Amino acid sequence: MQTTNSTPPIDLLIVGAGFGGLYMLHTARQRGLTALVVEAAGGVGGTWYHNRYPGARVDIQSLEYSFGFDDALQQDWCWTERYAAQPELLAYANHMADRYALRDGILLDTRIATAHWDEAALCWQVAAQDGRHWSARHLVLATGPLSTPNQPDFPGLQEFKGRVLHTAAWPHEPVDLAGLRVGVVGTGSSGVQTITTLAPEVAQLTVFQRTPSYAVPAHNGPLDKALEAQVKADYPAFRERNRRTMGGFGSMLPPNTFSALSVSADERERMFEERWQIGGFGLLGTFNDLIVNPVANELAGEFVRNKIRSIVKDPATAAALCPTHPIGCKRLCVDTGYYATFNRPNVRLVDLQAAPIERFTASGLVAGGVEHTLDAIVLATGFDAMTGTLLRLDLRGRGGRRIQDHWQAGPLNYLGLCLSGFPNLFTLTGPGATAAFTNVIVAIEHQVQWIADTLTDLRARGVRTLEATPEAEADWVAHVNAVAARTIYLGCNSWYLGANIPGKPRIFMPLFGFPAYVQKCADVQQQGYAGFQLAPAVP
């Protein structure tokens, strides 16, 4: 693999060696395209390389959160748990790299700094921070939707003498917090898993909560061998059934097709309880209107709040743990005893709405005028999601237009895949696509195959550049927001809206509804790439 300006350019430069980058490389090679993956980290795996915090595990069942493009892979690979933990997911990514002999196409420890469209050569000129550079006809940004950690600018944080850890940049060596007084800031999916796992290990755990989360039980455990055999006997059809669901998973527990308002209160309670006992995201499929009807949604929210009140013994703590926003509006957490953790004598909750963080000190932090003495702080404060990583690149399109200017008012894109003014560039799992609401591996398989089909097709027709039109882009962003407006997703401050990052444009970034998205992408291809300019144009 050439690692200097290549003549001719390589077909594809892929940024990121997570699941998206690995599958893009494999698919490109299968289609006879030359491709190189450049990855900033020291290993493959993306999300599962970096997020090594205590208790990190996937919240979609392992049998679903896995690739289906190769039947031999899905038959050979054996998951050990219903919800795989981070080390097993990282092993799976490494297995893919080895199984498909991808490693000679991946440069690790190499951070891309600049990518500029070269109008004369009709290719991307891409340079790494270390000065190496490449020319590529196409650029695939497989940088992931959740890859730039959000580290809030807390006053005095640098004065804190203890250890500061971020869940999304957890050290590779073991971190021993046993016997320490630990504070966790943040109670999203990462915080919920960290808090539950750390509580029994540490001397004292103080949870700093700004917004309470809804969490449903995972009921994790060893993978049911009978279920595994049943799924493996029917894996292609199982995958197909999942692809037809709104989120690319959950076909084992399909959503019901009637309203929460169409049954009696007793029946509703019984049905919520049934799904609570099964565990996982299926609670939101108890009725068909929980995501679109605020009245129905409130009934589901109250069901979980009643669970919190019944689990958490101290009424004041229980009240502070009860969310008031619509359930599902922020990503639902899937937990293993999260609320019960607050019954432990060594765990206490600080409600930042009543007592905001004022500053950090050498020995802890002050919130609401009270100093909390801590030996270590875990920031579970999430990500500058969907756009954060790309906006930190020096990425320039036609005429030197900077991505920072193009996205000043929010991430303009078409199909969640392409940008006007940035020819031959593709984002995987980016804004405007369904990845945030979808089993991300299913989303990756679809987008990679769409990109590969497009490149193969356009190469056969002699097309050199593909570029979204500004009109198609504007219409697409309006469509994404119109779909969200028909749901409860605009009803809270989520990372979907960019609301977790001060100053970020407030625009709904992910698209809800995987099957309609797949259909739209297929239609665009069948209509000769409607919404794109092709050059030279196809006769």
Positions in the binding site for ligand NAP (CB under 6 A): 57-59, 146, 152, 167, 185-191, 210-211, 331, 352, 357, 380-383, 493, 495, 500
Burial of 32 (0-12, 13-18, 19+ CB in 10 A): exposed
In the complex, what is the shortest distance from the CB of residue 18 to ligand NAP, in angstroms, rounded to a whole number?
13
Q: Strand runs (DSSP E) across 416-488, as ranges?
A: 425-427, 465-468
Q: Which residues contact 133 (CB under 8 A, 6 or more apart)?
A: 4, 5, 125, 126, 127
- Residue among 185 and 442 whose Cβ is closer to ligand NAP: 185
- Residue among 202 and 386 whose Cβ is closer to ligand NAP: 386
In the complex, what is the shortest distance from the CB of residue 249 to ligand NAP, in angstroms, rounded to a whole number?
12
- Residue among 188 and 416 whose Cβ is closer to ligand NAP: 188
Amino acid letter for position 379: L
Cα R_g (the chain), whole angstroms: 23
- Residue among 53 and 77 whose Cβ is closer to ligand NAP: 53
- Residue among 147 and 297 whose Cβ is closer to ligand NAP: 147
SS (H, E, C) 485-510: HCCCCCCCCCHHHCCCCCCCCCCCCC
The residue with its CB nearest to ligand NAP is: 188
The Cβ-side half-sphere exposure at 18, using a 13 Å CA radius, reads 24
In the complex, what is the shortest distance from the CB of residue 355 to ligand NAP, in angstroms, rounded to a whole number?
11
In the complex, what is the shortest distance from the CB of residue 99 to ligand NAP, in angstroms, rounded to a whole number?
23
The Cβ-side half-sphere exposure at 55, using a 13 Å CA radius, reads 23
What is the C-alpha separation between 324 and 525, in angstroms, rounded? 43
- Residue among 83 and 124 whose Cβ is closer to ligand NAP: 83
In the complex, what is the shortest distance from the CB of residue 493 to ligand NAP, in angstroms, rounded to a whole number?
6
Alpha-helical runs (H) found in 205-293: 225-232, 235-243, 265-278
- Residue among 185 and 418 whose Cβ is closer to ligand NAP: 185
Strands 133-141 and 347-351: unpaired
Q: Which residues pair with 38 in a beta bridge?
A: 15, 107
In the complex, what is the shortest distance from the CB of residue 351 to ligand NAP, in angstroms, rounded to a whole number?
11
Give which of 468, 482, 489, 539 is closest to 516, Cα–Cα. 482
- Residue among 325 and 396 whose Cβ is closer to ligand NAP: 325
In the complex, what is the shortest distance from the CB of residue 498 to ligand NAP, in angstroms, rounded to a whole number?
11
Q: In this structure, what token pair is assigned to residue 34?
A: 């030359």
- Residue among 357 and 521 whose Cβ is closer to ligand NAP: 357
In the complex, what is the shortest distance from the CB of residue 25 to ligand NAP, in angstroms, rounded to a whole number?
24
- Residue among 360 and 532 whose Cβ is closer to ligand NAP: 360
In the complex, what is the shortest distance from the CB of residue 154 to ligand NAP, in angstroms, rounded to a whole number?
7
On whether the CB atoms of residues 29 and 35 are closer than 8 A, the answer is yes
What is the C-alpha separation between 127 and 135, in angstroms, rounded? 9
What is the C-alpha separation between 142 and 145, in angstroms, rounded? 9
Quick one: how many helices (H) and strands (E) in the chain?
16, 20
Give which of 114, 95, 97 is closest to 106, Cα–Cα. 97
What is the C-alpha separation between 388 and 427, in angstroms, rounded? 13
In the complex, what is the shortest distance from the CB of residue 83 to ligand NAP, in angstroms, rounded to a whole number?
8
